[in-house]
Amino acid sequence: EAGVAQSPRYKIIEKRQSVAFWCNPISGHATLYWYQQILGQGPKLLIQFQNNGVVDDSQLPKDRFSAERLKGVDSTLKIQPAKLEDSAVYLCASSPTGGWTDTQYFGPGTRLTVL
């Protein structure tokens, strides 16, 4: 079974530029998550999708971050404009149902450096 795919793996941009990340979850998984993991910290949820609907985006900085999951499969996360403090690893995860006993499967992440 293929795992969660993410691209690109690394991205370096200057502040105020825009950037987009792509995620392809495990086939058949209804729930998709985007996390931000700052160096030395645990992952922090940015947004959770159930199929193509948003379940929780309370921690997404909506003035600069946006995300979509078209057709309930792939997802993109965009930052526009980027700030220095956005430097982090952006992890995508998926799970079958999103229920509390589910298992989340994480992708390798995209490491973003904002200069």
Partner 1 sequence: QKEVEQDPGPLSVPEGAIVSLNCTYSNSAFQYFMWYRQYSRKGPELLMYTYSSGNKEDGRFTAQVDKSSKYISLFIRDSQPSDSATYLCASLNYGGSQGNLIFGKGTKLSVKP
The neighbouring-strand residues paired with 16 are none
DSSP string, 73-107: S-EEEEESS--GGG-EEEEEEEESS--TT---EE-
With CB under 8 A as the contact rule, the residue among 17, 56, 64, 76 that binds partner 1 is: 56
Of the candidate spans 20-28, 39-47, 69-77, 79-87, the one that interacts with partner 1 by CB under 8 A turns out to be: 39-47
Tokens of 23: 């995620």
**Is residue 24 near partner 1 by the rule CB under 8 A?**
no
- Residues contributing to the site for partner 1 (CB under 8 A): 4, 31, 33, 40-45, 48, 55-56, 91, 93, 95, 98-109, 111
